[in-house]
Structure 1
Amino acid sequence: MNSLFTNILSLRRIEYLIVNERWQVIELSPKIHLLADNSDEVRVGKDVRMGFPELIGIEVIASDIIAGKQNSFELKGAIRTQKALNPIYIDICIANNIKEDRISNELLIVFEDVTEKMVLEQSLVQGANEANLLLRTLSASKQYIDQIVTSMADALLVTTLSGKIKTINRTAQVLLEYNEAEICGEYISTILKEVDSWKEEIEQRGNVQTRLFGPITPLVKEVETTCQTKTGKIITVAFSCSKVQTEIEHFQGYVYILRDMTERKQAELAKQEFLAMISHEIRTPIAAVIGMADVLLNTELTEQQEEFAETICNSGKALLEIVNDILDFSKIESGKLEIEEEPFHLNSCIEEALSLLTPKAKEKQLELIFYKNPQLPQVIVSDISRLRQILINLINNAIKFTDTGSVEILVTSRKRQMIGNEKNNHEIQFAVKDTGVGIPSNRINRLFKAFSQVNSSTTRKYGGTGLGLVICKQLSELMGGKIWVESEENQGSTFYFTITTRVIETLLKQEWETKPEESGTVIDAAVAEKNPLKILLVEDYPTNQKMIVLMLQRMGYQADIANNGLEALTALRCQSYDVVLMDMQMPEMDGMTATHYICQEWDISVRPRIIALTASAMLSNKENYLKSGIDDYLAKPFRIEELMQVLNKCRTNREQISKPSKVSHAESCSKNNSTIDTAALQEIYRIADFNCGVNAKDFLLETIDDYLEETPKFLEEIRVAFSENNFKTLQLLVHTLSSSSATLGASKLATLCTQLEIMVVSEMREEITEQIGKIEAEYENVKSALMEKRRKY
């Protein structure tokens, strides 16, 4: 074969051999050995089949080609030499070697290297297979996701980044009463009115990498709101939202999940009704057991009988505490507990909690220490009742699990970085440290789990449901904080918790700046002549009505009387008044609500001056009174000089908010530690004696009789309200009893009532039971003392 043709074949990576009819090599191309399976055997004179085994077995075909019976024959081979790890793929073509236009007895065998072609074909086939598999996978994945979305019990809506709805599932169509074609393209805000307020929080959340969809934001916590259907129906729903981000803009947006809350709300209502019913059914007999045991303990008993009665009483209290814990826990779990935000003095809140538990610490001879921190903010905005509840629970636990040593309370504060529109600029950290039994390190994780205690022996020795710390944890978290513990067995424990809060730089008014004149005050009928006023007295308790009316009569005023806020509004609509003496806690409508309506209905230029009358010891209430439109404040029991002073302001400074008198109910109640303060009875006699046409002695006796007749009824109603878990009514009854007791000089009883009122606000059930027993016992002393005073008069 000529060299030109040989070069052309080489350029195309084609080699050749010419063999005779006995398969011996006659001629070969220069690079043929590169394609041979055994290159050493490929040379002139050698059998070609030794180098190319693929040719073995085709001898008959070769004979037919030489004889002219067949033009050519093709076959494929694969060569794997020792030098080349990867196979070499070749195409072999056999034909007659034609010489000078005649057929010879020789064969031309052409070898072409098709390795690259084979690899490319394999890649194409593999690529096609993989593409087909991916397409099937994507199709199956879409079908899989579509089936999940379709079968979801919750409504699902997908929107663009701008908020336009792209698709909704079947549940959403049923819930919203739209089909997909009608709602697609509409903005999500037309369905969920509050949806935009959550966009900022969604943007601030970190991404989570997913295998199928790439980075997505986790679902925002469920938010309860309402949605509007096509027909205008408003449905309560809980919705959560997630942001989806991909490299392709078309596949970016938000996913909203809506859950119809109608059935859940009905279930919650049924649960609440059941809890209210079971609470009443359980509390009533428990309260009766505890109450009768208390009464029994106040009678003449043998030592053994007293021991039995104490066991009954203590067991009843323990059972009541268990019921209360379960109800509190249920209330928090159902999301019914709302954290209030009111300004109060931080140190006062802590001291109130300590004062309630000091007697228990003294019983065990434990030192109760509060390290006052001068760097603490004085006034914060939070929920004083819930903060006090956490403190009482932790301090009570510390006392319970400590036999010797002390319980210490430490409080620190730090400024915190504000996020978004957040208002809470401080974090307050509380620490309750004891020298008690401590907690094993492997048991600490059980502390903040529901119905869980360190071990069963703890329950047997100390009692409890294991819910107290869970409630503390949930309350601290509701107030933006957390709770944790550091402890070592037999070395004591330190419980920490934090809250986030706003700090107010200005102080609340705890002490009133204007002092009443102690002496030299002339009180007679000329006071009304110098400063004529039309006065409306709003007070529900008859004894207080009589007392205040007599005070006013002594100054020459004739007051009209309303028994509650509703009657006050009716009276104001019938005629104008210069002054309203407004009791704060009354049935049907309280004083604060009535004041709100008065401020709305009458302009300040014609509105009467409103004087708050209350025996409340809650420090935060005073600030609330002055902010709500009330012009002045009198703490019960007040003296006639103090009443005259606030009435004089109505003449001299009618249109300005004046500062109330400096008087404290707690101070008034604590002036005399005796059962009855004789000075108070003398004051009643003196007031009556100055009024023409009133027999002072008869009035005093009538006042004492009214008190002795009404108080047992109050005590019975207090027991009933507590047994029914009606804390609002209970606080009103205790407040009224405190006021009437203070008026008659029963200072110790009034103080006990004031303490009970604080306990009622904090819903301290165990302490309330004990305090009611003390009040009933003290009333028996007051009753005996008043009967003795009555005989003297």
Structure 2
Amino acid sequence: MNSLLKNLLSICHIEYLIIDENFKIIEKSLGLNHFADIPDEVKQGEDIRIVFPELEGLEDVFDAIRQGEQDNFELKGIMRSQDIASPLYIDIRITKNIQEDYSSNPLIILVEDATERMVLEQSLFQGANEANLLLRNLKASKQYIEQIVTSIADALVVTTLSGKIKKINLAAQILLEYDEVELLGQSITKVIREINSSPLIIRDIESINLLQSQDINSLEKEVETVCYTKSGKTIPVAFSYSIVKTEIEHFQGYVYILRDMTERKQAELAKQGFLAMISHEVRTPIASVTGMASLLLDSRLTAEQQDFVETIYTSGNSLLKIINDFLDFSKIQSGNLELEEEPFGLRNCINEVLYLLTPKAREKGLKLTFLDTPKVPTTIVGDITRLRQILINLLSNAIKFTGTGSIEVSVITRKNSNINHSYANTDEIQFSVKDTGIGIPRDRVERLFKAFSQVNSSITRQYGGTGLGLAICKQLCELMGGRIWVESELSAGSTFYFTIAASIIPEEPESQQLARATTVFSQLEGASYTGRVPDTESPSSTFSVSPRPCVSVSSSQPPDSHKLRILLTEDNLVNQKIALKQLKSLGYSADVAGNGKEALQLLEKIPYDLILMDCQMPVLDGLETTKEIHRWQESSFASGCRPVVIAMTANAMKEDKQMCLDAGMDDYLSKPVMKENLAATLEHWASVIFKAKEMDAVEQTVSTTDVGSVDLPIDWERLHQLSENNPEFELELLQLFVEDIQPRLEIIKIAIAADNFEQLAREIHQIKGASANVGATTMHLAAEKLEQLTYNQECRGTTNIISELEEFVKGIQEFLIRTPNF
């Protein structure tokens, strides 16, 4: 081979062999040994088939190339090394010798290193196989997920970060009445409009990055709302949702799970209807039984009759308590029980409970004690009714399960450790009720606070009860931000502890505390108070109830209470007799109407001051009757002398009370009406009615009375000096004052809701200055209180002060209306 061709092959990294017609090597390149199967055999005169055994059997191919029947022949990708770390592959090409310097007809065999190409091809092939396998897995995974999504009974909606719908499952299509294609790209608010108010709607990826430390894929708490279908129906649903975050923006967004609540809502309505029926249909005869028994107890009876009637009365009240427990438990379970947030005296609350349960304790010869200390808060903010309910339940149980000894109530306070932000800035108040009763086995303690569960079946047979009392106490404590537990030893007694979260109102001066304590204890007829009234030198004081005769309920009515004109509207004859007897014993008399229509007819003839109104009556019920009375007020009662309407109904559900108030009733008494409750209600409204009458009398003479003699929260002397005794200027000044203050009060309400203390301070300062200028001293003092709360950035207590300010302004405004030409 000439040097030019040799150089060309060398540059191309190709080795060569020249063989004759007998397959003998004539010539070879220097680097060929590296590619030979047996490197030592690569030499002239050696058979090429020994050096490259892959050519064995290709003799016909060699002949065809020599004779020109075939141009060349290739063998590609021949493995020479099986070492994975250092593989070696070659390509062999057989072609006719293009040189004429050989007498025979030789052939050239070209050998090229194909390792790089073969490794690349193998990698590509392996990658293709792996990609194909991955694709199959992804396809199977997608089918798997789609089958799961399709099989979910609840509706599922997937959206982008901006709330655009990307996918819905079959259940969602059925619920919303849309095909998936109709909702793709639509906003989630098309079907759930209230979603805009949700605090977890995130608009951009930066917002999601803030949640790196949280489990952002966890479902948020279920929220009840409504969704809107294609046909326009509104369906109640409960939805939960989760933020989905991945490295690819296309796969980020939200997953919503919607649960159709229609059946549950229907079940709740059916349950409420049943409870309402129980409330009315069962409580009504119980009210008759206990009412009649109560009246009999006030009559002359033999000892045996007295015993029988007391049994009837006690049994009726026990049955009523069971019904009330069921109603309370149902309200709590359904989430319909709302707690009040009002200031009340803590000591008074505890003492009232002790006073109520004194007769039961006395019957068993038990000592009932309240360990009062200076550290017990005087006034707290909370729900006095529910706190009283817990105390009554625990003390009743203590009395029930204690044969001899004593029962002791104590209270301590400490800073609230509850992490729930709802109870920030509150204190934890811990109550304990300790008895010397039968105790509770350790292995039975966990059953105490479960519904319909007692320590054992013999407890129910011996002591009675539904097993709901402590379960209700537990739930009430939790609703009030606390908990309940017990420490007990069999045959040695039990101590029940419970806590609530409440705000403590700062203590009053000691002189006022002393006056209140004296009043409270003096009202507890027959009770003895051992120890001193709480002061800084006394470590504790004790309220002990000594055995004494049962105290009958007595009424303390205001003067001329017998002049209160009362109409009793009641269709049940038994209830009529009970109510009339109770009224008579309290010093009242009343006319009777059998239904609402009769009541309206009587009202046309007699201007009644107060109506005791049953709700469920034939012809015209109490709700419609009350609405009609309000319609009359616009015409017949133009003077404003509408009678006070008080509901007296066996419907004890929260919704029933609200229905009465919405219909325009002024107050609500639940049957069976206890005489003491009736007395307190009548006393309150008698005071209101007589005061209103006195104001009417003043209004009738106001046109001939000096401005300064009218009872308004105004320092008239200062106003006279300011106006130089000019009545017209005074009225003009007061009118401007009202017009300035009213919008400021509205701004104050908005500022309080937004915690905008800066704006709040500005408006209050203006009110304080203006009220001082016109001599509205009372308003000035109230504004100062509100200003102090604002400086402390404390919203609690502002509502009452604002109500006072509004009443002051209203009083001035009414005065101006009554004296337009003064």
TM-score for the superposition, normalised by structure 2: 0.52
**Which residue in 2 is equivalent to 1:76?**
77
**Which residue in 2 is equivalent to 1:426?**
426
Task: Pick closer, same or farther for the CA change 1:358–1:491 going to 2, 3 Å.
Answer: same
Contact 2:609 2:643 in 1 (8 A): no
**Which residue in 1 is equivalent to 2:219?**
219
**Which residue in 2 is equivalent to 1:92?**
92
Task: Pick closer, same or farther for the CA change 1:28–1:512 going to 2, 3 Å.
Answer: same
- Residue 235 of structure 2 is aligned to residue 263 of structure 1: no
Cα distance in structure 2, aligned partners of 1:192 and 1:319: 46
**Which residue in 1 is equivalent to 2:380?**
379
Contact 1:165 1:188 in 2 (8 A): yes
Task: Pick closer, same or farther for the CA change 1:615–1:207 going to 2, 3 Å.
Answer: farther
Q: Give the one of 559, 564, 567 matched to 2:612.
A: 564
Contact 1:206 1:217 in 2 (8 A): no
Q: CA deviation at 1:219?
A: 3.0
Task: Pick closer, same or farther for the CA change 1:95–1:199 going to 2, 3 Å.
Answer: same
Matches within 5 A, 1:603-614: none
Cα distance in structure 2, aligned partners of 1:201 and 1:494: 48
**Which residue in 1 is equivalent to 2:722?**
none
Matches within 5 A, 1:491-510: 499-500=500-501
Q: CA deviation at 1:459?
A: 8.6
Matches within 5 A, 1:138-537: 138-150=138-150, 152-166=152-166, 168-177=168-177, 187-189=187-189, 191-200=191-200, 216-230=216-230, 232-273=232-273, 329-350=329-350, 352=352, 374=375, 376=377, 378-381=379-382, 383-391=383-391, 409-414=410-415, 425-426=425-426, 428=428, 430=430, 432=432, 470-480=471-481, 499-500=500-501, 537=565
Contact 1:487 1:494 in 2 (8 A): yes
Q: CA deviation at 1:559?
A: 8.2
Task: Pick closer, same or farther for the CA change 1:254–1:46 going to 2, 3 Å.
Answer: same
SS in 1 for 2:161: coil
Contact 1:49 1:55 in 2 (8 A): yes
Cα distance in structure 2, aligned partners of 1:233 and 1:415: 47
Q: CA deviation at 1:319?
A: 9.9
| RMSD between superposed Cα atoms in Å | 6.7
Q: Give the one of 574, 593, 606 matched to 2:636.
A: 574
Cα distance in structure 2, aligned partners of 1:454 and 1:45: 110
Task: Pick closer, same or farther for the CA change 1:208–1:138 going to 2, 3 Å.
Answer: farther
- Residue 123 of structure 2 is aligned to residue 118 of structure 1: no
Q: CA deviation at 1:12?
A: 5.2
Cα distance in structure 1, aligned partners of 2:459 and 2:46: 100
Q: CA deviation at 1:380?
A: 1.3
- Matched residue pairs, number? 591
SS in 2 for 1:194: helix
Cα distance in structure 1, aligned partners of 2:479 and 2:411: 22
Give the partner amino acid of 1:574: S
Contact 1:439 1:490 in 2 (8 A): no
Q: Per-residue CA shift, 1:620-668, capped at 9, x if unaligned?
A: x99xx9xxxxxxx955999xxx99999778778986699xxxxxxxxxx
Cα distance in structure 2, aligned partners of 1:81 and 1:570: 106
Q: Per-residue CA shift, 1:489-525, capped at 9, x if unaligned?
A: 9999887665555666699x99999x9xxxxxxxxxx
Task: Pick closer, same or farther for the CA change 1:184–1:347 going to 2, 3 Å.
Answer: farther
Q: CA deviation at 1:156?
A: 3.8
Give the partner amino acid of 2:381: I
Contact 1:293 1:313 in 2 (8 A): yes
Give the partner amino acid of 2:265: K
Gaps of 5+ in 2: 297-301, 520-558, 569-578, 590-605, 614-625, 651-655, 667-673, 699-708, 715-822
Contact 1:426 1:503 in 2 (8 A): yes
SS in 2 for 1:412: strand
Q: CA deviation at 1:152?
A: 4.7
Q: Per-residue CA shift, 1:758-777, capped at 9, x if unaligned?
A: xxxxxxxxxxxxxxxxxxxx
SS in 1 for 2:375: coil
Q: CA deviation at 1:47?
A: 7.7
**Which residue in 2 is equivalent to 1:665?**
none
Cα distance in structure 2, aligned partners of 1:189 and 1:280: 42
**Which residue in 2 is equivalent to 1:762?**
none
TM-score for the superposition, normalised by structure 1: 0.53
Give the partner amino acid of 1:240: S
Task: Pick closer, same or farther for the CA change 1:330–1:597 going to 2, 3 Å.
Answer: closer
Q: CA deviation at 1:334?
A: 3.6
Q: Per-residue CA shift, 1:455-492, capped at 9, x if unaligned?
A: 99999999877655554444444445556778999999
SS in 1 for 2:199: helix
Task: Pick closer, same or farther for the CA change 1:645–1:542 going to 2, 3 Å.
Answer: same
Task: Pick closer, same or farther for the CA change 1:347–1:7 going to 2, 3 Å.
Answer: farther
Give the partner amino acid of 1:563: I
Give the partner amino acid of 2:611: N
Cα distance in structure 2, aligned partners of 1:459 and 1:109: 108
Q: CA deviation at 1:74?
A: 1.1
Cα distance in structure 1, aligned partners of 2:209 and 2:463: 45
Q: CA deviation at 1:389?
A: 4.0
Cα distance in structure 2, aligned partners of 1:537 and 1:169: 67
Task: Pick closer, same or farther for the CA change 1:140–1:476 going to 2, 3 Å.
Answer: farther
Give the partner amino acid of 2:78: G
Q: CA deviation at 1:131?
A: 3.7
Task: Pick closer, same or farther for the CA change 1:72–1:276 going to 2, 3 Å.
Answer: same
Give the partner amino acid of 1:430: Q
Deviation larger for 66-75 or 245-254: 66-75
Q: CA deviation at 1:198?
A: 2.0
Cα distance in structure 1, aligned partners of 2:104 and 2:259: 91
Cα distance in structure 2, aligned partners of 1:40 and 1:458: 106
Contact 2:189 2:196 in 1 (8 A): yes
Q: Per-residue CA shift, 1:107-137, capped at 9, x if unaligned?
A: 6554433333233223333433444444444
Q: CA deviation at 1:185?
A: 5.6
Q: Per-residue CA shift, 1:650-694, capped at 9, x if unaligned?
A: 778986699xxxxxxxxxxxxxxxxxxxxxxxxxxxxxxxxxxxx
SS in 1 for 2:237: strand
**Which residue in 1 is equivalent to 2:128?**
128
Cα distance in structure 1, aligned partners of 2:642 and 2:120: 100
Q: CA deviation at 1:61?
A: 6.0
Task: Pick closer, same or farther for the CA change 1:503–1:145 going to 2, 3 Å.
Answer: farther
**Which residue in 1 is equivalent to 2:742?**
none
Q: Per-residue CA shift, 1:710-766, capped at 9, x if unaligned?
A: xxxxxxxxxxxxxxxxxxxxxxxxxxxxxxxxxxxxxxxxxxxxxxxxxxxxxxxxx
Cα distance in structure 2, aligned partners of 1:179 and 1:246: 28
Contact 2:431 2:498 in 1 (8 A): yes
Gaps of 5+ in 1: 516-526, 551-557, 600-613, 626-632, 659-793
**Which residue in 1 is equivalent to 2:806?**
none
SS in 2 for 1:574: coil
Cα distance in structure 1, aligned partners of 2:11 and 2:455: 87
Q: Per-residue CA shift, 1:4-23, capped at 9, x if unaligned?
A: 76676566554455677888
Contact 1:438 1:487 in 2 (8 A): yes
Give the partner amino acid of 2:240: S
Task: Pick closer, same or farther for the CA change 1:586–1:78 going to 2, 3 Å.
Answer: same
SS in 1 for 2:235: strand
SS in 2 for 1:127: helix
Contact 1:538 1:581 in 2 (8 A): no
Cα distance in structure 1, aligned partners of 2:8 and 2:488: 91
Matches within 5 A, 1:586-735: 586=648, 597=664, 634=683
Cα distance in structure 2, aligned partners of 1:286 and 1:578: 38
SS in 1 for 2:198: helix
Q: CA deviation at 1:163?
A: 3.8
Q: CA deviation at 1:265?
A: 2.1
